[in-house]
Amino acid sequence: MPADLALITPSPSVAPQDAGPLEALLSRQRAAFRADPMPSAEERIRRLGDLHRLLLDEQQAIVAAINADFGNRSADETLLAEIMPCLHGIAYARKRLRKWMKPSRRAVGLQFQPASAQVVYQPLGVIGVIVPWNYPLFLALGPAIGALSAGNRVMIKMSESTPATSRLLKTLLAKIYPEDLVAVVEGDVEVGIAFSRLAFDHLLFTGATGIGRQVMRAAAENLVPVTLELGGKSPVIISAEAPMAQAAERIAWGKTLNAGQTCIAPDYVLVPRARLQEFVAAYREAVQRFFPTLENNPDYTTIINPRQLARLNDYLSDAQAHGATLLPLFPQSQGARLAHTLLLDVNDEMRVMQDEIFGPLLPVIPYGTLDEALEYVNARPRPLALYFFGYDKAEQRRVLAQTHSGGVCLNDTLLHVAQDDVPFGGVGPSGMGHYHGHEGFLTFSKAKAVFSKPRFNAARMIYPPYGKAIQKLVYRLFIR
């Protein structure tokens, strides 16, 4: 994911100016947590229910705020990709929360009897969440839902690129939560730096790999554990036998959602060499069917700001200068409504093949055999998502066994992120740690081992002095 200006760390000589108010806010949340360190299931369910009702009541205001930040954000995309998954995540957690909170009984070895063991899931304390600009609601509230389910307090740092959404979310959450439970932090570069250096009990960052390294470095100063949801170049592999029209349509949906400004958007497509033109034709037809025109089309989300638009246009110019063939799918762009473009004849010298694209540009790369396609993917950093199109079970197993990625969709794109019962997270350069659903509850909890002995203590038999017959018997029974 392209870097957020609010999180670019300056040289160590530059001291953040906004640490004081943030430290004070963190202290208030810590004090509130100490006063209520283990909220009941009923209280957590109530807190989540308040958020569910708020989102239902304020969905039009949310749509309008995100639209204002983007210039044009499809209202349907905000409903489908931000509000709906938040509502479903809340409902999923509320239904299962009592089961998640129940201590887990564990086995105790014969040599330690009589005794019992269990794992107790304890809230960590105060959770920090650093939010990117591309899905400002979902990527703020998704982690917050997990943190609240686990009984924590939450501080949310919004992106400086989404000021309207940040202001609205701060106002709305203040209606249902005191600031010592959930707080929204706005601000620019210095605020983002100061936030990343706070001594949270856990910090979740969503954003660019390079900025993730800086956030992790800052968190390390206070030994703050981190979950990093990064990005990278998520590949698509189309098999030799895949129904091309179906594959192209599903890839086009995943790439055009939010104008490609999605951390798990298809970043490039590997197509059998003999089917390259078939894919180009099918993909063009699908995109143009979704969006018959760009001009004044409310369904076509714009690039969020001039800086990101300039970056994408630079990718196109650089690719063309290095020999790429550009295939715009519309006659011309309409300002920030950047025309969806296929890129053929690409190579690794091009920036579009080095950086996460994060926009409506899609390189298409021909391959000869599936082994060749897998080697191409595996020679590059491990991505956040991988997409395979093909119904041959043996090929599916090969792809799953021979590649690493944060998540996989077989014969679709994006939708694994919407499944509440599976974890979401990257691997290597695309991230570390997981959240969503039960994994979110576990990430924001301390799984505390508890070993309990009754009054009778059989272990006294192995206490010093050593050399007793009973000790020798224990060694014969248990050291073998």
229 is catalytic: yes
86 is catalytic: no
Alpha carbons within 13 angstroms on the beta-carbon side of residue 454 total 7
Q: Catalytic one among 77, 263, 409, 439?
A: 263
* From 77, 82, 160, 229, the catalytic residue: 229
**Catalytic residue numbers?**
229, 263
